[in-house]
A and B are shown apart, each in its own frame.
Chain A
Amino acid sequence: MQSNAQLEYDYSIVKAFTFATILFGIIGMLVGVILSFQLAFPELNNLAGEYGTFGRLRPLHTNGVAFGFTLSGIFATWYYVGQRTLKMSLNESKFLMTVAKLHFGLYFITILLAVVTFLMGFTTSKEYAELEWPLDLLVVVWWVLWGVAMFGMIGMRRERTIYVAIWYYMSSFLAIAMLYLFNNMEVPTFLWSGDAPSSLMHSVSMYAGSNDASVQWWYGHNAVAFVFTAPIIGMIYYFLPKESGQNIFSYKLSLLSFWGLMFVYLWAGGHHLLYSTVPDWMQTMGSTMSVVLILPSWGSAINMLLTMKGEWQQLQTSPLIKFMILASTFYMLSTIEGPIQAIKSVNAIAHFTDWIPGHVHDGVLGWVGFMTMASLFHMAPRMFKREIYSKSLMETQFWLQTVGIVFYFTSMWIAGITQGMMWRAYDEYGSLLYSFIDTVEVLHPYYTIRAVGGLFYLVGFFIFAYNIYKTATAGRVLDKEPANASPMAS
């Protein structure tokens, strides 16, 4: 593309979403750390009256990190990767610029309203779909705005072929649109209140019982797929080759992993409902497809590792590469662990225990968190036109957070398997060996270790926020954009 030299990418929206990523990251992770300490020290539940209990805070944490932190990161990188791989600039179109600004504004307001309404106790109870109906409608508006921006940008592209990273962002947009709409089918009760002065915020689900559960976990599992997996793979497909100066190892492997992931992932929701009252064939299907899911997941991860072929010394010189490679490795760990838990006999022990949050967190802390922060680190010198403020702070952050993650998942593995085994233990007379409270008290040391691990990760995130802030305000000014490895002051 010869005309690139004049193309000036517009980073105003990217910067806004970067700010949101950091802000919501701090809120979401801080609440997470509070929750983990509450399980170890329950007196911490009643420091803020009804507003500080575990139940009220939990949706705030899960939504805060999934739809605050991660989604902001996805939008920030979309407006960066989108412009650059499509070879167009947002400032070429007044319309798209307005759409993108509205997208940010409405999104930001929604997340702030989410914080307020969750604290007040407005929730539908469905995991990762807790927002009540007025906020659901807001989400639909900015989701559509994102789609308009996305397809508008694609329509204006100068690069004929759409790069792999873009496929993943597109899949995220399409799949979440479908999942969100169907799972949030609900009727505001004030419409059929029959003269009773009903709350305006309350709604009732259009599905009942087992059907509601089927739809919810079809959504719940795949919200994970299309927030925590697909767009993050999109990020690594762009940022790893860019930062390392290496070509993606294999186009065919990219194809296999992408279409494989798209086809297989949606079947796997049934593994959340093993031994429940949904149809048995659906459970078996969910279990089987979860195991098949190893193939496309590892396909992407191996493609990334092989991209570094012959260039592994970069791991020593660049903490940024280290973040991305470790992210990819945690993705492999998490995507082998998930299928293991989805095998019915393993699930019989693992389900309802702390092994499940353990699994979630090696994925989100190691894979999603690391990859999102690495992407922001890569974008910072390009959008602020300054050198990254401190390499040694990056190193400190890396090790602090890595140790935090290891504390987290090891303690939760032990806790989960211990609890699962105790629930099913019988004595020689055929009576249950432990009362439920025995299986709670035994977890105290593991809950404490997990909370400390979470705290390490949070401190690392503060270091990250400080480093980005200093990069934006005090980093050495660059005279031209770096081609590959991001420049950083020691």
Chain B
Amino acid sequence: MFHWLEQKPFFFAVVLFLTVAFAGFVTIVPDFAKQSQPTVGTKPYTVLELAGRQVYIKDSCNACHSQLIRPFKSETDRYGMYSLSGEYAYDRPFLWGSKRAGPDLMRVGNYRTTDWHENHMMNPSDVVPGTVMPKYPHQFTNMADLATAYANANTQKELFGVPYDTDGMPKLGSWAEAEAQAKEDAKLIASDMKNQSVKDAVANGQVPEIVALIAYLNSLK
């Protein structure tokens, strides 16, 4: 049979493709629907949080930080309750990471505060001597992309049925409403910060990346 196949490239390719494709089909398809059910209490991200999540991705924070707490005592003691599948139901993309050059951030919102992040992102070794983390001063001057964050949320709502604008869930509304709301949320974050240029920017209706990022990190619980 093999010798015959080796002389018939078309059939060879067909058999080869089926052999290769088989495993993916069998392992991924069966539990697909079940895995995407949100846990009770899990909410989609607000526009400001999503803008922060985009900053997290832009600077590839996931290259060094995981967001996945494994069910071991040493991990739950260090990071909190182990992860449940439904907690990730609104994570597009998932940000589990694959390497911990730094600690896990799955529930960082439970034990770090806005001012801690502010100091840490500006110069990590001020807060954690011996750290290998880069400084991120550019996040204090670059502006977050709220428009793309809104488009991101709106795509998820319209295409994937993410329950924005439903009872007890974050309100999305129109772009104008969402932008105004995100800027209000940003003011709350900025009121806990001390960097004057960030405070001024937020007062003038701008949202520096650091503000959005902190909003996102605070939402991780």
Contacts and interface: CB of A to CB of B under 8 A. Distances in A.
A59 B31 CA distance: 30
Nearest to B91: A209
A482 interface: no
A208 B36 CA distance: 7
Given A193-B150, A214-B28, A42 B88 contact: no
A209 B89 contact: yes
A92 interface: no
Contacts of A218: 24, 27-28
Given A55-B64, A218-B27, A208 B151 contact: no
B98 A348 contact: no
B64 A54 contact: yes
A42 B151 contact: no
A198 B58 contact: no
A171 B13 CA distance: 8
B16 A196 contact: no
Nearest to A220: B98
A197 B135 contact: no
Contact of A198 (B28, B31, B84, B147): B147
Q: Most A CB atoms within 10 A — which of B27, B134, B156, B159? A: B27
Interface string B17-59: 1011111100110111001100000000000000000100111
Contacts of A423: 74-75, 78
B70 A275 contact: yes
A423 B74 CA distance: 7
Nearest to A194: B154
A441 B102 CA distance: 11
- Interface size class, chain A: 35 or more
Contacts of B19: 259, 262-263
A59 B62 CA distance: 11
A191 B158 CA distance: 11
Given A204-B156, A215-B28, A356-B98, A198 B148 contact: yes
A194 B178 CA distance: 11
A192 B134 contact: no
B128 A266 contact: no
B93 A205 contact: yes
Given A194-B150, A437-B131, A270 B13 contact: no
A192 B155 contact: yes
Contacts of B174: 194-195
B83 A276 contact: yes
Contact of B22 (A171, A190, A266, A436): A266
B132 A58 contact: no
Contact of A162 (B12, B58, B84, B96): B12
Contact of B17 (A174, A206, A447): A174
B90 A170 contact: no
Contacts of B72: 275, 348, 424
Contacts of A354: 99
A81 B62 CA distance: 39
A175 B71 contact: no
B203 interface: no
- Most chain B Cβ neighbours within 10 Å, of A125, A170, A275, A440: A125
A267 B27 contact: yes
Interface in A265-308: 265-267, 269-270, 272, 275-279, 282, 285-286, 289
Interface stretch (B1-9, B111-119, B189-197, B210-218): B1-9
Contacts, number: 279
A380 B83 CA distance: 53
A212 B175 CA distance: 28
Contact of A207 (B92, B100, B147): B92
A189 B151 contact: yes
Interface stretch (A45-53, A98-106, A385-393, A399-407): A45-53
Most chain B CB within a 10 A radius of its CB, from A205, A210, A272, A441: A210
B130 interface: yes
A123 B60 contact: yes
A184 to B, nearest CB: 11
A423 B77 CA distance: 11
Given A162-B6, A204-B155, A215-B28, A277 B85 contact: yes
Contacts of B142: 50
Interface in B149-175: 150-152, 154-156, 158-160, 174-175
A198 B150 contact: yes
Contacts of A204: 92-93, 152, 155-156
Scoring B3, B24, B66 by chain A CB atoms within 10 A of each residue's CB, the highest score goes to B24
A55 B68 contact: no
B17 A437 contact: no
A194 to B, nearest CB: 4
A276 to B, nearest CB: 6
Most buried by A among B57, B66, B77: B57
A131 to B, nearest CB: 13
Nearest to A200: B148
B207 interface: no
A356 B99 contact: yes
Given A174-B20, A199-B148, A266-B23, A210 B159 contact: no
B71 A178 contact: no
A395 interface: no
A58 B60 contact: yes
Contacts of A267: 23, 27
B63 interface: yes
Given A162-B9, A196-B175, 14 more contacts: A55-B59, A59-B63, A161-B3, A162-B12, A194-B174, A196-B147, A204-B156, A209-B92, A211-B28, A211-B36, A212-B91, A272-B98, A348-B72, A356-B98
Interface of B: 2-3, 6-7, 9, 12-13, 16-17, 19-24, 27-28, 30-32, 35-36, 54, 57-64, 66, 68, 70-72, 74-75, 77-78, 83-103, 125, 128-136, 138, 142, 145-148, 150-152, 154-156, 158-160, 174-175, 178-179
18 contacts: A50-B142, A56-B60, A125-B93, A151-B13, A162-B6, A162-B7, A170-B9, A191-B155, A193-B147, A194-B175, A208-B89, A208-B91, A209-B91, A214-B27, A214-B28, A263-B20, A266-B23, A277-B68
